[in-house]
């Protein structure tokens, strides 16, 4: 899947807003606010449940990595969440 298509599919899911559980949340991290080298995918089956977190890292900006973005789309499709959220921006992780 090409990068633009993957990013659009993720954005479409995020745009739907909160519709209940299960929920998947995407959060990007990096050394600076402009360059994300890691993405955390958090899955919550229901409110109050323990979160399951999977991390993906890359040597380049993971937001522009076709492989990682395609994997995120596949995770979302397979988990069939009612809600997909994305934390805005890149959090700085030392």
Task: Return the axis-axis angle of helices 3-15 and 66-79, rounded to nearest 10°.
Answer: 40
Domain count within the chain:
1
Q: Is the pLDDT of residue 94 over 90?
A: no
Q: What pLDDT score was predicted for residue 39?
A: 98
**Quick one: tokens of 66?**
């076709």
Tally of CB atoms within 10 A around 19: 10
Biggest alpha carbon distance in the chain?
36
Q: Is the pLDDT of residue 93 over 90?
A: no
Residue 52 φ then ψ, to 5°: -105, 125
pLDDT digits (tens, 9 = 90+) for 21-42: 999 999 999 999 999 999 999 9
Q: Which residues contact 67 (CB under 8 A, 6 or more apart)?
A: none
Residue 20 DSSP symbol: -
pTM here is: 0.93
Give the side-chain half-sphere CA count within 13 A for 82. Answer: 9
Q: What pLDDT score was predicted for residue 51?
A: 97
Range(s) of the domain holding residue 53: 3-92
Residue 63 DSSP symbol: G
């Amino acid at each position: 899947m090409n990068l633009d298509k993957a990013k659009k599919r993720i954005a479409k899911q995020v745009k739907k807003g909160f519709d209940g559980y299960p929920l998947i949340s995407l959060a990007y991290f990096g050394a600076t606010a402009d360059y994300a080298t890691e993405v955390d995918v958090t899955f919550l089956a229901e409110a109050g449940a323990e979160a399951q977190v999977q991390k993906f890292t890359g040597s380049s900006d993971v937001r522009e990595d076709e492989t990682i973005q395609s994997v995120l789309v596949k995770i979302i499709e397979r988990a069939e969440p009612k809600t997909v959220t994305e934390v805005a921006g890149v959090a700085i992780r030392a």
